[in-house]
Homo-oligomer: A and B are copies of this chain.
Amino acid sequence: MKFQITARDPSSKARCGLLNSAADTIETPAFMPCASHAVVRACSPQDIAAVGIQAVMCNAFHLLIRPGSEVICQAGGLHQFMNWPGLIATDSGGFQVFSLADRSDIIEDGVSIRSPLDGSPIQVTPELSVQAQNQLGADMIMTFDDCTPYPCGYAEAAQSMERTLRWAERSKVAHNNPEQALFGIIQGSVYPELRRESARATVEIGFPGYAIGGVSVGESEAEMFTALDAALPELPLEAPKHLLGVGVPAQMIAAVKRGVDLFDCVLPTRNARHGLLYTWEGIVRINNAQYREDSRPLSELCDCPACTHYSRAYLHHLFRIEEAAAWRLLSLHNLRFFAQLMEQIREAIGAGNLGELAARLAAITPS
Which residues does A use to contact B, with CB under 8 Å? 37-39, 41-46, 66-67, 71, 74-76, 81-83, 292-293, 295, 305, 309-311, 313-314, 316-318, 320-321, 323-325, 327-329
Q: Collect the chain B residues with CB atoms within 8 Å of residue A66's CB.
A: 317, 320-321
Determine if B75 and A323 form an interchain contact, defined as CB atoms under 8 angstroms apart.
no
The one of B38, B46, B83, B324 in contact with A327, judged by C-beta atoms closer than 8 angstroms, is: B324
A-B contact pairs, 9 of them (CB 8 A): A39-B318, A39-B325, A42-B323, A44-B328, A46-B309, A67-B320, A71-B313, A74-B293, A83-B309
Copies of this protein in the assembly total 2
Identity of the chain B residue whose Cβ is nearest the Cβ of A62 in the assembled complex: B321
Cα-based distance from A292 to B68 in the complex (angstroms)? 10
CB distance from A326 to the nearest CB of B (A): 8
Q: Collect the chain B residues with CB atoms within 8 Å of residue A325's CB.
A: 39, 41-44, 328
Given contacts A71-B292, A311-B81, A314-B83, contact A323 B37 (CB under 8 A): yes
Determine if A324 and B324 form an interchain contact, defined as CB atoms under 8 angstroms apart.
yes
Determine if A38 and B317 form an interchain contact, defined as CB atoms under 8 angstroms apart.
yes
Determine if B305 and A46 form an interchain contact, defined as CB atoms under 8 angstroms apart.
yes
Cα-based distance from A317 to B36 in the complex (angstroms)? 13
CB distance from A191 to the nearest CB of B (A): 38
Cα-based distance from A38 to B314 in the complex (angstroms)? 9
Identity of the chain B residue whose Cβ is nearest the Cβ of A292 in the assembled complex: B71
Cα-based distance from A29 to B55 in the complex (angstroms)? 45
Identity of the chain B residue whose Cβ is nearest the Cβ of A65 in the assembled complex: B321
Determine if B313 and A45 form an interchain contact, defined as CB atoms under 8 angstroms apart.
no
Cα-based distance from A258 to B74 in the complex (angstroms)? 50
Determine if B74 and A305 form an interchain contact, defined as CB atoms under 8 angstroms apart.
no
Q: Collect the chain B residues with CB atoms within 8 Å of residue A311's CB.
A: 75, 81, 83
Q: Collect the chain B residues with CB atoms within 8 Å of residue A71's CB.
A: 292-293, 313, 317
Q: Collect the chain B residues with CB atoms within 8 Å of residue A292's CB.
A: 67, 71
Identity of the chain B residue whose Cβ is nearest the Cβ of A68 in the assembled complex: B292
CB distance from A42 to the nearest CB of B (A): 4
The one of B44, B75, B323, B328 in contact with A295, judged by C-beta atoms closer than 8 angstroms, is: B75
CB distance from A41 to the nearest CB of B (A): 7
Cα-based distance from A311 to B295 in the complex (angstroms)? 38
Q: Collect the chain B residues with CB atoms within 8 Å of residue A309's CB.
A: 44-46, 83
CB distance from A117 to the nearest CB of B (A): 10
Given contacts A37-B321, A323-B37, A328-B325, contact A314 B46 (CB under 8 A): no
Identity of the chain B residue whose Cβ is nearest the Cβ of A320 in the assembled complex: B66
Determine if B83 and A310 form an interchain contact, defined as CB atoms under 8 angstroms apart.
yes
The one of B76, B83, B324 in contact with A328, judged by C-beta atoms closer than 8 angstroms, is: B324
4 additional contacts (CB under 8 A) given A41-B323, A42-B325: A39-B323, A82-B314, A83-B310, A324-B324
